[in-house]
Amino acid sequence: MFWNNMKGAGIIKTILKIVLVLVLVVVIAAIGYLAYVMIDYSRIEDDLAIDPQGTATSDAVALNTKYTVVTQNLGFGAYTPEFTFFMDGGTQSWADSKESVISCIDQGADNVKSFSPDFVFFQEVDTNSTRSYHVDQSKQLTQKFEGFMYTEAVNYHSSFLMYPLTQPHGFANSELMTFSKYTVTSAIRRSFPISEGFSKFLDLDRCFSKAYVATANGKQLVLYNVHSSAYGGSDEIRTAQMTKLFEDMQAEYDKGNYCVCGGDFNHDFTGDSKKKLNPGMDIRDDYGWAQAFPVDLLAQYNISQCIEYSDGLKATCRDCDIPYKEGNFTVIVDGFLITDNVECVDVWNHYNGFTYSDHAPVQLDFMLK
């Protein structure tokens, strides 16, 4: 009996040692991973010069002539109507397949081209990301837009994200791409202020890009491509980001330049689209990421929103916690800003059932005064 008790105690000790070793391995691995993420973290420098590429078909932009610009967030080629994203309360972290990514980017490019744009602003263009099967989406787009010059600005890049454990999000490298039929003389990437808390590891390096095109009167048309923070935002960060953008546009306006700014602002762009597009829905704090656009702040500058829609109020973004169908929560977060020396001729939100992205394209027809 004594021997059996000793033997049983030995087995229990062995099991406890094994469990302890496994726990230590997990703890050491977790600490090592956190150290890797923090050590590998870096922000892209502000005021970074961008080399324009490609060949334009025209040189200077004329005054009192109508031009068309389209903005489209491509959602890194993942967002078919069935796709749900883990950071929005959904379940998926990767696109369905490499073939699906290629198809979604092609559909987005073809749809934007159908509006015969002179300029195009794309957001969430992946170049070497785990979530989009390392498809070079910028190459796809440049092949679609022959006869355009273009610029690329890395909006965010991340270390290998191990979450969710069942399908780690991995590496992400996502760009803003601006296309122009007119010669881009220079371009620059400007970093947005971001959170200094842990959320900075999830919402990295937000920015806007500027591309300069000569005008017939010796000034410049400045094309702003914007994608502001979506996750881990706060009132302070939102205000700081928009203030930096508005001040930059105002400085260009004060020089006599013309500014057209488009993109994904991650705000309720009209201030009331959440309410108007979702009648009868309980708009809870779940949708707090779409705070009203800061019109009071904007009023301090010679800048205005283009929200007098030619075809009525239509959504540009869906929530991605569940597969999309008519009646789900939608909002307007994409749009255009212009300085007072630019005329908004027409603006359309081209709702398309979110067939290839969680965002719809927005088209602005404008003239330089």
DSSP state string for 131-185:
GGTT--HHHHHHHHSTT-EEEEEEEEEEEEE--STTS--EEEEEEEEEEESB-EE
**Span 62-84, mean pLDDT?**
97
Is 12's pLDDT higher than 80?
no
CB 184 within 8 A of CB 151: yes
Q: Give the pLDDT score at 202.
A: 56
Indicate if the pLDDT at residue 1 is higher than 60. no
pLDDT at position 36 is 46
CB 207 within 8 A of CB 176: yes
Q: How far apart are CA 318 and CA 307, in angstroms?
A: 19
User: Average of pLDDT values for 329-336?
Assistant: 96
Q: What is the pLDDT of residues 208-253, one digit of tens each?
A: 999 999 999 999 999 999 999 876 557 888 899 999 999 999 999 9
Query: For the residues 30-47, what does the mean pLDDT come to?
Result: 65
DSSP character at residue 15:
H
- pTM here? 0.91
**pLDDT tens digits, residue range 265-279?**
999 999 999 999 998
Write phi, then psi, for 114 (nearest 5 degrees): -65, -15
